[in-house]
Amino acid sequence: MNELDHLRTLRSQIPERTSEELALLTGWRPGRGEFRPVRRPRLLPLALSGLALVAAAAVFLALVVFPGSFTVGVGPAVDPSEEAIEEVEGDPMETMGPLIEKIGAQEQTGTVWYTRSETTEAIGVGPADDPYAMLYRITGEHWRNTALSQSSHRGLDDRWEPASEEQRAAWERDGSPQTWTESTNGDVSIAQEHAMDVPGPPYKDWYYVIGDTVQLEDEDLAALPTDPDGLRGEFGLGTAVRPGDRPLQPYFDAAALPTSPEVRAGIYEMIAQAPEVAPFEGEDVLGRPAVGISQVADDGAQGRFEQRLLFDPETAELLSYETIVITPPEHAQAWQRPGEHARYVAYEESLWTSEGPP
């Protein structure tokens, strides 16, 4: 036996249910309202005698062929708002601990913080009866001269891509357009101008934003403490989960700051202590090996999302900040799918250098 055969032995321990049994167990029938997970008493398995199976088949026919003509007492449906929040498993220090050590041991070579990154947002477009999600992706370079408090930016590329293979099919049905006059929520002129291919002139009107409220300048970065408690105070972060669909936003903003290695180590430790986050180990949106933290955000009508803040396990550098759809918000249910990215920022390169833009 090879390893796949051994795995199949594990599967053989699970009996295969008939569709009639599953219809009874799941309560599914075509067109039945909104899905709600049901916690039902475990009665059926004890009743799987021959007669019970015949009865189950009759129930399946009634549920599927004659919907509404038969009511199965499977117990009360659970209001999603009352569902227990999934337990957070694992200690985030498992993934962040090694990163804290590595980032704190780095050398800061230069006063210019250079990044090349890709920023992507999913936008609903297409005909009203067959909308679909397209990812609008912008790639650019940024230089921050922390000694002169100057920034420069150069756009490299912008492009549209279907958010998934399923979305690609809808896009192709729409004739594979490259521009749209408006999105599904009525935004006009979403066709973007192509990015400039030369760095713009340096500009000084710049400050760093943490979350929605905290603004920092280079002098503030130079004075940041290195301990997690002090950093939380500076960034206005408490011990409760941040409301809304972007609970990890301030932690990403902090991780992206051009700070000294000692302060970055403190920021990483602060990230590991963020409320109700779980360790993550896998790949980032670009398929690179990644470790970090994740958190599920439930924003009511704005949907349910998983957010991830991911780092390179070898270099400890920030890789990505991702928002993945679990349940689309009401306004996007026609075109957004579970598992797709709603938005992300992916860093292709980030480093200290003594060189400015070309």
Partner 1 sequence: MSPTASRAQAHEGAESDASVIRRSLHEPAGFGEIFHRHAPALHRYTARRLGSAEAEDVVAETFHIAFRERRRYDPAYPDARPWLWRIAANLIRRHHRTETRHYRALARTGADPVLEGHADRVDARVDADAVSASLASVLARLSKGDRDVLLLIAWGDLTYEEAASVLGIPVGTVRSRLHRARRILRAALSASAVINEEGTR
Give the footprint of partner 1 on this chain (CB under 8 A).
2-4, 6-11, 13-19, 22-23, 25-32, 34-35, 37-39, 42, 45-46, 48, 60, 64-65, 67, 86-90, 130, 164-166, 169-170, 278, 281-283, 287, 306, 326, 337-339
* Cβ-based nearer residue to partner 1, 28 or 206: 28
Closest distance of CB 349 from partner 1, Å: 23
Least distance (Å) from partner 1 to the CB of residue 283? 6
Tokens of 328: 């689309």
Nearest distance, CB of residue 49 and partner 1, angstroms: 10
Is the Cβ of residue 35 or residue 206 nearer to partner 1 in the bound state? Answer: 35
What is 252-297 written as a DSSP string?
HHHHTS---HHHHHHHHHHHHTSTT-EEEEEE-TTS-EEEEEEEEE
Residue 162 or 357 having the CB closest to partner 1: 162
Cβ-based nearer residue to partner 1, 161 or 227? 161
Cβ contacts of 246-250, under 8 Å, gap ≥ 24: 246/297, 246/307, 246/323, 247/295, 247/297, 247/307, 248/274, 248/277, 248/293, 248/295, 248/307, 248/308, 248/309, 248/321, 249/211, 249/212, 249/321, 250/210, 250/211, 250/214
Residues linked to residue 117 through DSSP beta bridges, in sequence order: 140, 347
Q: How far apart are CA 166 and CA 163, in angstroms?
A: 8
Q: Which is nearer to partner 1, 10 or 51 (CB)?
A: 10
| Nearest residue (CB) to partner 1, 80 versus 261 | 80
* Closest approach of partner 1 to the CB of residue 16, in Å: 5
Least separation, in Å, of the C-beta of 188 and partner 1?
26
Minimum Å distance from CB 31 to partner 1?
Answer: 5
State the chain's maximal CA–CA distance in angstroms. 83
